[in-house]
Structures are given as structure tokens and as C-alpha cells.
Structure 1
């Protein structure tokens, strides 16, 4: 690639991951299609994007750790439920066509944004719930299912985790976004990247620009989310979910 193409990758990655870190997901809306447009096959683009998105989680982690936003027990629970699903999904996506699945995922993603928009008080104040064994079991199944989607169809699945943590476990948006960026960004995406890398290919020469943009975008987006608070994050979440969903549907019709 030329120097100008590396610059384009850096800028695309910076913008995509800044918005993702602010709203709790959606970097694949911009980054993954650009990798495909520049000539990578879908499986290679997905694996390369997964590796780059780990830097998003690292950048956001550096900012969120200063706020002490995470409960260790809940964080370990999210990892234990989600990572097996990610590994399973990453293996499945290399075996099946994905167009119909992406259309369905797009419609569901738009539904998330509309659900949040029509519930104006959702996620503005933390209201912990479903922390009993039965509630955790159901919540864990939800996280496992989202993990499968995360490993297979990368665009926007972090948004599912954000809303699930808000709706089921009663987190406010700011704290839910922190969990999503740290745990999904670093560990879920790291597991998916490792699985796809072992089973497929990664375009290593494209990664320096992508990693630099993801790291910086993740930090800046997390800082913006902390500074603006729940109401702004909620609006950002709703906008990004609608855009991600529309892109997935229209891009596969």
C-alpha cells in the first residue's frame, strides 16, 4: 500500500473507533467495509478488523480505568459467558454465507436504537437488577448469544452488549459502555482475532495504521463519553445503532 492509503486507513480507523468508544460499539460500520473496498476478502478483512479493534479496547481501557468504572465480579462473569460464544461464532462464520444473517442482524440492530429512543429514561440512572442466580443465568445466556454474533458478524455487536447490560442488569449507559469497550474490545475481540487468525488470514501490513487509529480513537471516544455523561451517550447509541442497522440491511439487498 502507498503512504496515502495508509493515511486513509489511519483516519478511517480513528473516526470509526472514536464514535464506537463514545456510543458503545459500531466501529465495524465504517472500518470493515473500507477494508473490503480496498481489496480484502471478507474473511481476511474480518480477521484484520478484529485485531485492530483490540486496540480500541486498550485505548478505552486506559481512560476508563482512571474512573474505576468496573466491578470485578460482573466483569469476570461477562468474560466467562461471552468468550466461548465468540470462539464458536468465529469458527462458524468461515463455513457459511453471511448475507441473510447480516440483513437480519441489521434489522435487529435498528430495533435496539428504536427501543432505546422510545424509552427516554432507559440507562440514564443505574438500577441494578437480576443479580440473583436465575437472573445471572438468563443474562449469561444472552451474553453467550451476543458473543456468537460478535465472533461471526462483527459490525455493531458491541452495541448489543451495551443495551443488554443496560436493560437486563440495570447499568447506566456510561458504565455499560465502559464494560463493553474494556471486555468486548480487548478480550472478546482478542479471542475472535486469535481464532480467525489461526483458521484464516490476517493482513499484517495494514495493521500499524489501523492499530494507531483504533488506540487513539478509543481513548478520545472514552474521554468524550465520560465528559458528556449518560444522556449524550444514549443519543449517540441510538444514532449509531440506526446507522449500523441501515448499513447492514442496504449493503446486503
Structure 2
């Protein structure tokens, strides 16, 4: 598929914005995906190409959170591997079946995330008692990984909220670990979509440059301001994604 130069530039600029969102609260996919579809990409190519820029954004965010000492990646590597396997399964399945059911279920989950962030006194940077062990969290991480490979929007918020609620992590550290898991799920998805010929590499790599730029800015802001920045953005993004998905369900096309 031939992509004009002006479109490469426009999508790279859009990726700056979505990279910022993804690095702080997640949800950039529901900005990027409509943009790619509006540009004329078929849904399968839009999904695969979007994963390339998403991988670039989460990798940059992971780097900055890790350098700030907020990611214990050696302790979390097995959970990241489980999320990777889940994403492989999800990416394979999404190429076979419709996403219609998820488009209704996901808004309910996102509303739950928003409600938890708003009303839970633990959604800050203080640690609390963990409700499940690292091994106990594995099925949750695998399920979110599967969702990220299958559909994707809001996965970072699901990771962060579940790490706070179940593992007792502070919100900024949970967001850092969410980027580790997101990075591995995006690696899985890019591999699967690339092997299926569902990636436009010229466009994806141009968007990746923009996404890395936005992610660098966003993750630096998040590390500096912590829960004061992440909490309101997580609520806002969750509610906006909810509205967008519900609108798409009731008014398709």
C-alpha cells in the first residue's frame, strides 16, 4: 500500500500525542486507530501498524521509568513473559474473529478502572499490603496480555490499576511496571502481525519516531509529578475510552 509523504508527517505528529498518553495513562490506541482507519488503512493493517508505534512508545517509557529506579524488571520478568504469551494468543485470535463483544465488555471494565481510581484511597504513591503474590498475579497479567494482543486500548490502565489493587504497589511504580508488561505484549503483537504481513513498515517506523518523542516527554513528566499527574489522567482516559467505545457500539460506522 502506497503512503504519501504528507500522511507520514501527519501520522508522526499524531503519534507524538498518543505516545504521551500511553506513557502516562495508556489509551493512545483509541486516538491512533481511528486516525489510521480515517487515512484509509484496512482494519488488519491498522492494528498491525499501530503496534509498531505502540512498541516504540512503551519501550521509551520503560527506559525512563527504569532509569528512575521505578521498575524491578528482574523480579517481574516471568510475569512479563506470561503477558507476552497471552498477547501472542490474542494477536493470533483477533485475526480470526470479530471484536464486537469486546467493544461492549471493555467499556464496563474501563468504567471500573475509573471508579477504582476515583474512590480508592490507595491510588497514590504509597505502598500497601499485597492481596496476591507475584505468582497469584500471573493469571491476571496473562489475561490483560491476551486482551492487549486482541484489542488493546486501556491495557496500560488495567495493568496499573490491578498492580495497585492486587499487588499493593504505589501508582507511579505500578505505571512503570505496566510499561514493562506493555512493551513485552507489543513485541509479541508486532511479531505476530509482521509474520502475517499486516504491518506497513514505512508508516509504522515514521509513527514510531513520533511515539518515542511523545513517550519521552510523558514519562519524564510522570516520573517527576507521580500520582498527582497519573491519577487524573488515568481517570480521564478511562472515561474517554468508555464514551468512545460505547458510541461505537450503539452507532457503528
TM beyond 0.5 = yes
Is 1:198 the counterpart of 2:199 in the alignment? Answer: no
Match in the other structure for 2:89: 88
User: Residues 35-46 of structure 1: matches in 2 within 5 Å?
Assistant: 35-46=36-47
* Backbone CA RMSD of aligned residues: 1.6
TM-superposed deviation, 1:179: 1.1
5+ long unaligned stretches in structure 1 = none
**Separation in 2, partners of 1:111, 1:137:** 24
TM-superposed deviation, 1:200: 4.2
Match in the other structure for 2:4: 2
**Separation in 1, partners of 2:171, 2:141:** 17
The answer on whether the counterparts of 1:59 and 1:217 sit within 8 Å (CA) in structure 2 is: no
The answer on whether the counterparts of 1:10 and 1:212 sit within 8 Å (CA) in structure 2 is: yes
The answer on whether the counterparts of 1:126 and 1:171 sit within 8 Å (CA) in structure 2 is: yes
TM-score (norm 2): 0.92
Name which of structure 1's ranges 197-206 and 118-127 shifts more when overlaid on structure 2.
Answer: 118-127
Name which of structure 1's ranges 62-71 and 151-160 shifts more when overlaid on structure 2.
Answer: 62-71
The answer on whether the counterparts of 2:123 and 2:227 sit within 8 Å (CA) in structure 1 is: no
TM-superposed deviation, 1:183: 3.0
Match in the other structure for 2:116: 115
Match in the other structure for 2:163: 165
Match in the other structure for 2:219: 222
Number of residue equivalences? 248
**Separation in 2, partners of 1:169, 1:202:** 36
TM-score (norm 1): 0.92
Q: Provide, for residues 150-194 of structure 1, a one-character-per-residue CA deviation record: whole Å limited to 9, x for no partner.
A: 11001111211111111110111111111112331x211011111
5+ long unaligned stretches in structure 2 = none
Q: Which segments of structure 1 move beyond 4 Å, counting only runs of 4 or more? A: none
Match in the other structure for 1:244: 241
